[in-house]
Amino acid sequence: MNTPVLPPFWALVPAAGVGSRMRAERPKQYLELGGKCILEHTLGCFLDHPQLRGIVVSLAVDDPFWPTLACANDPRVLRADGGRERADSVLNGLLRLTELGADEQDWVLVHDAARPNLAQSDLDLLLAELADDPVGGLLAVPARDTLKRAGADGRVRETVDRSVIWQAYTPQMFRLGMLHRALAEALVSDVSITDEASAIEWAGQSPRLIEGRADNLKVTRPEDLHYLERLWRGRH
């Protein structure tokens, strides 16, 4: 079997969020997991990849934790300023990539800072599947549970057909020019954008869904971190 040729890519990691649902004393990307912080693990998922051209991390302007990390001195990792919403942080990161010489047609993989458990096999799968795609796409996981639509009274209105529902994960892989235009126009039009794919959809395109591993989870609540701690302990 031929090994697929993987395209070169840039990584963009928005890391300017506070993560208030973790109820922690610091932003969730700086919480410790197996001897390193979550953000270091997340960047490590990309740093060893032979096709990586560079990483831009969007950070809060007054972030006091970043300069203490070893990867802050890695020449392949550059910073951009975070913005008010995730989409603003991503847009700033894209502008930074352009300043660094990235081309309109270059692939950019946007990945949440709080997803430290991205498997190399999932990253390769995404790159291989989308290498020649005209739009791009994202890692996603089909819904497992029965889904309910709730009413304002907290009671079930209806059961939703789960066979067509997917959870959007990251990385989300798009060409720099297309993503930049879609995000900028969506933000100007005041459309709510919670991931890159929704900006591309708003621009009239259909991103491809690539089925990834469910354990590429986003640390959102304390129990997510406990789950990853157990997983890490099992590995080492």
Q: Residue numbers of the site for ligand C5P (CB under 6 A)?
A: 14-17, 19, 29, 58, 82-86, 89, 112-114, 218, 220
For residue 134, the minimal CB distance to ligand C5P (Å) is 27
Q: Which is nearer to ligand C5P, 26 or 129 (CB)?
A: 26
Q: Which is nearer to ligand C5P, 19 or 136 (CB)?
A: 19
What is the number of the residue whose Cβ is closest to ligand C5P? 17
For residue 90, the minimal CB distance to ligand C5P (Å) is 7
For residue 218, the minimal CB distance to ligand C5P (Å) is 6
For residue 1, the minimal CB distance to ligand C5P (Å) is 36
Q: Which is nearer to ligand C5P, 61 or 164 (CB)?
A: 61
For residue 206, the minimal CB distance to ligand C5P (Å) is 23
Q: Which is nearer to ligand C5P, 16 or 183 (CB)?
A: 16
CB under 8 Å to 70, separation ≥6 — which residues? 40
Euclidean distance between CA atoms 117 and 135, whole angstroms: 26
DSSP codes joined into one string, the chain: -PPPPPPPEEEEEEE----GGG--SS-GGGSEETTEEHHHHHHHHHHT-TTEEEEEEEE-TT-SSGGGSGGGG-TTEEEEE--SSHHHHHHHHHHHHHHTT--TTSEEEE--TT-TT--HHHHHHHHHHHTT-SSEEEEEEE--S-EEEEPTTSSEEEEE-GGG-EEEEEEEEEEHHHHHHHHHHHHHTT---SSHHHHHHHTT--PEEEE--TT-----SHHHHHHHHHHHHHH-
Q: Which is nearer to ligand C5P, 27 or 137 (CB)?
A: 27
Q: Which is nearer to ligand C5P, 115 or 175 (CB)?
A: 115
For residue 169, the minimal CB distance to ligand C5P (Å) is 11
